A and B are shown apart, each in its own frame.
Chain A
Amino acid sequence: MREAYAAHSGELYGFAMRSLGDSGLAEEAVQETFVRAWRAGDRFDPQIGSLRTWLFAILRNVVIDLGRARAARPGVAEGGIEPSVEPLEEALLAWQVEEAMRRIGEDHRRVLFETHYRGRPYAEVAAELGVPEGTVKSRVYYGLRALRVVLEEMGYEG
């Protein structure tokens, strides 16, 4: 369990933070995830999937539970409306893409950020970076390839 914590707690916390938006709740979610994993340890089968995938599946349920608890708390007798599961799937994908963006090289991230997220022309970005425009173009290509590799490592299947 100690090894599992060392290997996966950062990522689990990152996603919990991304979907719960509160560091205290996110830590509670990570704690609950490891406690549930410990209790159900005999049900983990490495033949079915990785430990990481299993922990994320548990965390996903914990986040749903915490979301419901939070939705129910401020209301009165009737309780809150249960949050739909769909935004959580989207949050998981969004978090994966953000995490993948963090893991690719700075050069690649930079050109993707400038050209795609800020929508700047390639020539302008090239001038700012002091490189030929063709270099920006090839960095965009290699950047997308790097993203694909990282996403696949994280379990994304095209």
Chain B
Amino acid sequence: MKAERCREWRLSLGAYALGNLPAEERAGLEAHLNGCPDCRAEAESLGAVAQLLPLADPDRFSHPAPQPSPELGKRIAATIGGERRVGRRRRRWQFGLALSGAAAAAAAVLAIVVPPGGGGGNPEQRVAFASLPAGIKIDATLEPHAYGTQIRMYVSGIRSGTLCRGSGPRRHLSLPLGRRLHRSAELGARPLPHQGDRRSRRQPNLRRPRP
């Protein structure tokens, strides 16, 4: 009997929550809400949902959700399959880095081959990598500057906590890769980015980079 009476009011709660109820109807509804905790709770709950509506862009939800290309699943399976193989090889690379008892970090040794005569009027040069562990992708460029040569590396596929070491013909750099996927480092006048990094001080020495 009470539920029957509430039903009429309930149907107005959507318009009420969205602020679309004419004043006189609203006054009647609010009088009911004052005496009916159930309807009041429903009004508050729908009010919270109504407050979210302005976040949504109607142009977006009027169209079907975008879908990834059908190949994405296969690419992911291939990457994971590649990592499985690297995982087996990785054991040979592990240097017993015991980082706070958690999973030991693997070290990838990347030899950066700098093309000879870099800089001759060419503003930016792409870097070729002599060897890369499977699953790791590096997009790197060299830019000559007055203070030295800047190398920009965009590395993907490296797990958190991995320490990477690269070496060039004259200089080498070490850069600990943390949670981020990229790090830009400079070969030249600036201090190496790992200096002063508390975490890297705790790292044991890694094997010398390959010449």
A-B pairs under 8 A by CB, number: 151
Contact (Cβ within 8 A) B52 A141: no
Q: Which of B56, B67, B72, B184 counts the most A-chain CB atoms under 10 A from its CB?
A: B56
Is A13 among interface residues, defined by CB-CB distance under 8 A? Answer: yes
Given the complex, which residues of B lie within 8 Å of A116, measured CB to CB? Answer: 18, 20, 53
7 new A-B pairs (CB below 8 Å) besides A32-B156, A69-B154, A117-B53?
A13-B68, A79-B184, A97-B52, A98-B57, A109-B61, A115-B18, A139-B14
Residue of A nearest to B152 (CB): A73
Distance between Cα atoms of A32 and B102 in the complex (Å): 22
Number of B residues near A (Cβ < 8 Å) is 51
Q: Which 3 A-B pairs have the closest CB atoms?
A: A141-B14, A140-B14, A101-B61
Within 8 A of B (CB), among A117-151: 117-118, 122, 134, 137-145, 147-148, 151
Chain B 1-32: CB-based contact to A (< 8 A → 1; otherwise 0):
00000000011111101101000000000000
The contact string, 1 if C-beta is below 8 Å from chain A, for chain B 55-83, is 11110111011111100110111011001
Closest B residue to A135 by beta carbon equals: B11
A5 cross-chain contacts in B, Cβ below 8 A: 73, 76
In the complex, the chain B residue whose C-beta lies closest to that of A79 is: B184
Q: Does A1 contact B (CB under 8 A)?
A: yes
Q: Pick the contact of A102 from B48, B65, B150 — CB < 8 Å?
A: B65
Q: Quick check: B48 and A140 within 8 Å, CB to CB?
A: no
**A142 close to B14 (CB less than 8 A):** yes
Indicate if the CB atoms of A113 and B156 lie closer than 8 Å.
no
Considering the complex, give the chain B residue whose CB is closest to the CB of A9: B68
Q: Once bound together, how far apart are the Cα atoms of A134 and B150, in whole Å?
A: 68
Within 8 Å CB of B10, what residues of A?
Answer: 141
Inter-chain contacts of B55 with A (CB < 8 A): 90, 93-94, 97
> In this complex, what residue of A is CB-closest to B71?
A27
Q: Which residues of B are found within 8 Å of A10, using beta-carbon distances?
A: 65, 67-68
